[in-house]
Chain A
Amino acid sequence: MAPTLVNAALGALLAAALLGAAFDRRSVAVVVAAAVVPSADAAASLVVTGATNTVLHTVWLPLAVGGLIYWDTTRRESSWLRERYGWRGVRVGWVALTAFVAAGIAPEAVGDPGANLLYPVDDAYYVVDGLLLFSTQDGVVQTFVSATAEGPGLLPFESRGTTETHAIATWVNPDGRPGVGGSDERVLTLVETGWQAVVVAAAGASLAVRFRPWSSDSGEKATTASPSEDPPVSGVNE
């Protein structure tokens, strides 16, 4: 699985990009938390066979929550979410759900060991990996989608096995199987490859720029000159 640190970093980037006027420390914390929640199913694997990248990596849960938020905020006469937390609550809710899917689940599915996307309807760890390019000799070449992909599963992607056959090692559960193992080495991966290091660095730098802990004014780089042309935006961040 992509390291949880990378899930958190992607969540932070989405928070900065999508929260808009609802951006503050608390809302960012909520969104980042939503991005790392799927990784918690590793703990369930101590009890349930193959829970890692399965229980909280299926698309059904976020679909249901999304449907619920949609119904509550647009179909009902008075929305519980909006009455309780206002406009900001609705925005934070949607962005957190987005982070759950796009920063928590999706990164697991684009590389090994894969995510069990349709569980329990269909039990298969999908890996959407391959290449897509245009070649002057061969035309369009793509290997992401393949109707004859190996492994079980309904979707036309490669899959690595089922909850029975594919055990995923995590630092919580080093052998990936139920029960607390013996003296296994525990490995908590923080960054697996170069690009993940770049994503983590970019997220850290983005949050630093947005929060600016080193400066007393939370607004602009330019607070002194020509305020009439572009008023300071500090109010937006409150």
Chain B
Amino acid sequence: MVSSLVHAGFALVLAAGLLKRSYDRQALAAVLVVIVLPEADALLGPVMPGAHRTVGHNFVLPAAAGLLLYYDTRIRETSLLRERVTNTGVRIAWTALFVHVFAHVFLDWAHLEGVNALWPLHDGFLRLEGELLWSSVDGLVQTFVEIDVDPESGQRQVDAGSTGTTESVHVNNPVEPDSPEELERAETIDRRFPVAGRGWRLYLLGLGVFTVIARHLQGDPPDEPVA
């Protein structure tokens, strides 16, 4: 996993930008809980092979949650959620969903073996890796999704970074630091809890901490802003 602290750092930046007047300690705490929660799928690893990066890390559940949230708050005449937690709660819910998708699932999508994007509809890990550039010789080039045409059969093959299924992929994590077969053989188990595995991850972590401190230090605008 990209360390939970890195997810949290990026989440704080995004949440600070989206919460508007609902920004307070409580709202941030709610967002952080939502950020950490999906990692619990690592605990399922010992009983369900390939659970980590599958159960809590897919696009299907957030999409379903988004539809549900949309239906409840926009289409129904009286929203159950809004009645219980007011508009502030609704905004925090939307923000938490946004943050879960971008700061957690998407960041993990770009890390190690990626995430099981369409689980439970379809079992297949995808990894987001590539680059997008413009070259004066080759024009616009992207390598995130490779499209190859088989010269013999003429069939098109699309590879969006597939890395395998829950059968074949095990994403290492502190609960299961290696694939279960390796762990049985190992004499000592080294569990590693990452803080930041690369410079950019330390950067995102720092950016989140900085954002919260800056928001804390900022003064309130005067009652009638002088334009």
Q: Interface residues, chain A, CB within 8 Å of chain B?
A: 10, 13-18, 20-22, 86-88, 91, 98, 102, 106-107, 109-111, 127-138, 144, 171, 185-195, 197-198, 201-202, 205-206, 209-210, 220-222, 225-226, 229-230, 233, 236
Contact = CB atoms under 8 A, between A and B. Distances in A.
A109 B17 CA distance: 24
B133 A189 contact: yes
Nearest to B5: A132
A111 B18 CA distance: 28
Nearest to B137: A185
Nearest to A128: B199
Interface residues of B, number: 67
Nearest to A202: B102
Nearest to B105: A198
15 contacts: A13-B14, A16-B16, A18-B215, A20-B221, A87-B221, A88-B226, A135-B192, A136-B189, A137-B190, A138-B190, A189-B132, A194-B127, A202-B14, A205-B102, A236-B21
B205 to A, nearest CB: 9
A194 B129 contact: yes
B133 A190 contact: yes
A109 B190 CA distance: 31
A102 B210 contact: yes
A13 B21 CA distance: 17
B86 A209 contact: no
Interface string B200-227: 1011001100110011001001100111
A193 B110 contact: yes
Interface stretch (B33-41, B44-52, B53-61, B90-98): B90-98
Contact of B191 (A18, A109, A136): A136
A206 B198 contact: no
Contacts of A135: 190-193
Contacts of B221: 20-22, 87, 91
Contact of B87 (A134, A144, A201, A220): A220
